[in-house]
């Protein structure tokens, strides 16, 4: 079962839940093993999720929902319960994950959760790297971006996730990714890769460099850094 509810303290304090969902619409990222948590059994998905959602207290007024995919893969019954909890616990800010292909549908989620109360919806998306060649050929995330598209993306997306310290990356690539992320988005999450059985492998020398030479980022109020993939406190075993 793992741990599906946690509290994140510090500059990005929030409650966070890891929910089950239908399979990721893309599901081809070479670095991702989270999709193993997905299911086609809607009854099972809702049963797990409704139990997890009971843990939410509304303590911070901020809730993040992650689900090994996009919010659009969460079943309707679970979405209804999330909305009920958001209203009952007076959640003011709600984070969801989305995949790039869902950009044209974000208003559906915004409207749904603002039906009875005003809730600020913040969307995150995993870009992983702004280097098109590396993202598409190594991470197998087939998105093609230029600065115009990045700017358009930043108008809809609150924050992006960057994946660093993988074999084949360079320090210059990582620096450029962080620079672009901070230039265009309100916040970024930097995920330091941890070997997880996929074909993508960790570069320990890049990890050492990042922790030593880029340590100033740890104090940046717009940057969340996850050194370990369990740093948020939620994980599926």
Angle at 175 between CA 151 and CA 127, to 5 degrees: 45
Q: Is 178 in contact with 145 (CB distance < 8 Å)?
A: no
Distances (CA, A) of 16 to 40, 72, 86: 23, 18, 13
Please tell me whether the overall predicted TM-score, pTM, comes out greater than 0.85 for this model: yes
Q: Measure the CA–CA gap between 25 and 43, rounded to whole angstroms.
A: 19
Angle in degrees, CA 167, 206, 159, rounded to 5: 85
d(CA 134, CA 233): 29
226-237, pLDDT tens digit by residue?
Answer: 998 776 866 665
H/E segment holding residue 210 = helix 204-213
Contact, 156 vs 121, CB < 8 A?
Answer: no
pLDDT in tens, 156-186: 999 999 999 999 999 999 999 999 999 999 9
Calculate the CA 205 to chain-centre distance. Answer: 25
Place of tokens 């050492």: 208
User: pLDDT per residue over 19-61, tens digit each?
Assistant: 999 999 898 999 998 777 899 999 999 999 999 999 999 999 9
CA dihedral 160, 50, 109, 225 (to 10 degrees): -10
- Phi, psi torsion values for 114, nearest 5 degrees: -110, 20
Per-residue model confidence as pLDDT tens digits over 64-113: 999 988 999 999 999 999 999 999 999 999 999 999 999 999 999 999 99
Residue 218 gets which letter from DSSP?
A: G
Burial (0-12, 13-18, 19+ Cβ within 10 Å), 182: middle
């Amino acid at each position: 079962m793992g741990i599906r509810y946690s509290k994140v303290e510090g500059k990005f304090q929030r409650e966070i839940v890891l929910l089950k969902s239908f399979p990721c619409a893309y599901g081809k990222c070479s670095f991702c093993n989270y999709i193993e948590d997905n299911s086609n059994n809607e009854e099972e998905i809702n049963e797990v999720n409704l139990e997890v959602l009971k843990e939410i207290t509304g303590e911070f007024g901020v809730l993040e929902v992650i689900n090994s995919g996009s919010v659009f893969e969460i079943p309707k019954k679970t979405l209804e319960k999330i909305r009920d909890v958001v209203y009952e616990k007076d959640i003011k800010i709600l984070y969801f994950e989305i995949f790039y292909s869902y950009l044209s549908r974000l208003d559906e989620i915004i409207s749904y959760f603002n039906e009875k109360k005003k809730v600020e919806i913040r969307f995150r998306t995993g870009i992983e790297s702004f280097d098109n060649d590396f993202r598409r050929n190594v991470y197998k995330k087939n998105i093609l971006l230029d600065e115009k598209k990045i700017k358009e993306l930043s108008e809809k997306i609150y924050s992006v996730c960057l994946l660093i310290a993988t074999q084949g990356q360079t320090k210059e690539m990582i620096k450029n990714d962080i620079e672009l992320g901070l230039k265009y988005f309100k916040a970024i999450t930097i995920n330091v890769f941890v070997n997880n059985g996929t074909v993508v492998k960790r570069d320990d020398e890049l990890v050492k460099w990042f922790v030593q030479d880029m340590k100033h980022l740890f104090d940046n109020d717009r940057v969340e850094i996850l050194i370990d993939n369990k740093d948020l406190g939620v994980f599926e075993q």
